[in-house]
Chain A
Amino acid sequence: MITESQYDDKAVDFREMVAAGDYFLHTLKKGQVIRILDLEGNQAADTLFFNAEDPGERYSAMDTIREQGNVYLTAGSVLRSNENNPMLEIIADTCGRHDTLGGACATESNTVRYALEKRCMHACRDSWMLAIAEHPEYGLDKRDISHNINFFMNVPVTEAGGLTFADGISAPGKYVEMRACMDVIVLISNCPQLNNPCNGYNPTPVAVLIWDQ
């Protein structure tokens, strides 16, 4: 559902660019609003959320889609944890649909999906591994790295049970915006994938904006 933001970009409290292939790790306070902005279009932001008080509680794709009864994410979707608690709510979305089935790219899955020799190409899970290795203060480990959201990705499910990786439906300037229902750690891998037509084989930067109220 296309829903425009109520927030003014000029009054933003925090803004950071995330280059393709980099990670973004930040704690969002309850009530704060985060926007992920697709600057050049058809980028994928592979995102995980954790309860900042207790990182063993984290975003759960299955709790989220089961409780909303729908496989796609958009404005109005409540992102739920593995304890089935609301973590964030999507309050604005100019893209209309985001994927949470397809998961993140990994060097290991790249060998299966594309070719065995793709093993050393940079992948989202490597960005997450670097993030948790460089930031032990967040208390995250490999067990916490699970089934994520792919903001700006379109992965349609057919009625016959197929899963298709469609061309992106995002475009330069499209964004998704969420309000935190609890203090949450945000971990984004700005996808470096060079093998997937979804991003036109051209990973590009995204921006993260945060409003305090």
Chain B
Amino acid sequence: MNEYQYSTEIPGGGHWSFRMRRGTQLRLTDLHGGGNAGMLFYNPENLLERYNAPDTLKCQHTFRLSRGNCLYSDMGRIFASIIEDDHGWHDTVCGNTRYSHIAEKWGARDYQHHRNGWFQNGHDAFLVEMEKYGLNRQDLAANVNWFSKVATDKEGNLYLDDTTARAGDRVVLRFEMDTLVILHSCPHPLSQADSYPALPIQVELGLAAPIASDDVCRNWCEENQRGFQNNALYHLGT
């Protein structure tokens, strides 16, 4: 299945949200290279269930997210599986830019003076989308930053490696349960770009193929097999 029924472009510094159904998939494309897409996940039937970065990392013994990895909720279930990935390494620990980060790095630009050329920040962008569903800063969890490779050196120092970014890099998420997705396309907080990187992200939505017995995500590790069993229990009778 590669038929995407809906396609849209989120301009750099934008935000959006949508409800994905179980069995659908989402393809993100970093159109120009060097883009960043911040993302959070909630269970729309129980907003208290949300993406849990620590469980996602430790269940799969990884600090980076890539093809084969699953995105876990705090309830031991899988929101989505990363079934394709050109980029190879996505961050889920650095959080977001704030107004002060943007002003310090690239100067303050506001809507009054710059209209749609203003510099939005990831923190506020998330809050705006979250409030639409009754969620607020208390519900803000550690988010994924797609297309941003954040590695560490031996001492644990973090750095954003932007040398791997290529125009057209894609990542595909297959949803394993109904999921509210909150998205922004603001810069990564460790970005060292000379000017505010207002880089668009393409979003495509479609139906996922049935999960095959050799599925790369389910078979990635024993932990993921158990995560899928938890989802099967959640969906019992459906």
Binds A, one of B23-31, B51-59, B79-87, B168-176: B51-59
Residue of A nearest to B66 (CB): A161
Give the number of residue pairs across the A-B interface with Cβ within 8 Å.
131
Minimum CB distance partner of B76 in chain A: A108
Q: Is the CB of A112 within 8 A of B54?
A: no
Q: A66-B94, A103-B58, A159-B154 are in contact. Are A144 and B76 (CB under 8 A)?
A: no
- Of all chain A residues, the one with the shortest Cβ separation from B138 is A143
Q: Are B157 and A69 within 8 A (Cβ)?
A: yes
Q: B128: CB under 8 A from chain A? A: no
A6 within 8 A of B: no
Name the residue on B nearest A119 (C-beta). Answer: B76
Closest residue of chain B to A144 (Cβ to Cβ) is: B138
The answer, among B62, B95, B227, B229, for a CB contact under 8 Å with A62, is B95
- Contact between chains at B52 and A162 (CB < 8 Å): no
Q: Which of A72, A106, A164 contacts B61 (CB 8 A)?
A: A164
Q: Is B151 an interface residue (CB 8 A)?
A: yes
CA distance A165 to B142 in the complex (A): 20
The answer to whether residues A102 and B157 also contact, given A62-B142, A147-B141 and a CB cut-off of 8 A, is no
Q: Are A71 and B140 in contact (CB under 8 A)?
A: no
Interface string of B74-103 (1 = CB under 8 A from A): 111100000000000100011110101000
Q: How far is the CB of A190 from chain B (nearest CB, A)?
A: 18
Q: Inside 8 A of A162's CB, which chain B residues have their CB?
A: 61-63
B75 near A108 with CB under 8 A, answer yes
Residues of A within 8 A of B57 (CB): 101-103, 163
Interface 0/1 of B94-125, CB less than 8 Å to A: 11101010000000000000000000000000
* B152 adjacent to A143 (CB under 8 Å): no
Which chain A residues numbered 35 to 77 have a C-beta less than 8 Å away from chain B? 56-58, 60-63, 65-66, 69-72
Residue ID in chain B nearest A83 by CB atoms: B137
Q: In the docked arrangement, what's the CA distance between A147 and B203, Å?
A: 28
Query: Contact between B137 and A82 (Cβ–Cβ < 8 Å)?
Result: yes
Per the 8 Å Cβ criterion, residues 34-81 of B in contact with A are 48, 52-55, 57-59, 61-64, 72, 74-77
Residues from chain A with a CB closer than 8 A to the CB of B158 are 65-66, 69-71
Q: Write the chain A residue with the least CB distance to B48.
A: A142
Q: A147-B142, A159-B151, A159-B153 are in contact. Are A113 and B63 (CB under 8 A)?
A: no
Q: Which of A95-149 contact B (CB under 8 A)?
A: 101-104, 106, 108-113, 115-116, 125, 141-144, 146-147
A66 touches B223 (CB 8 A): no
Do A147 and B59 have beta carbons less than 8 Å apart? no
- Tell me, in angstroms, the Cα distance from A88 to B143 when the chains sit together: 23
Flag whether B206 is at the interface (Cβ < 8 A). Answer: no
CB distance from B23 to the nearest CB of A (A): 21
Q: How far is the CB of B154 from chain A (nearest CB, A)?
A: 7
- In the complex, what residue of chain A is closest to B225 when comparing beta carbons? A112
> A70 vs B137: C-alpha distance in the bound complex, in angstroms?
24
Q: Which one, A103, A110, A116, contacts B52 given CB within 8 A?
A: A103
Q: B: which residues have CB within 8 A of A?
A: 48, 52-55, 57-59, 61-64, 72, 74-77, 89, 93-96, 98, 100, 136-143, 151-158, 189-190, 223, 226-227, 229-230
Known: A62-B95, A101-B54, A111-B76. 17 other contacts (CB 8 A): A56-B138, A61-B93, A62-B96, A69-B157, A71-B93, A71-B158, A84-B100, A101-B93, A103-B58, A106-B76, A111-B226, A116-B229, A147-B142, A159-B152, A161-B89, A164-B61, A165-B58
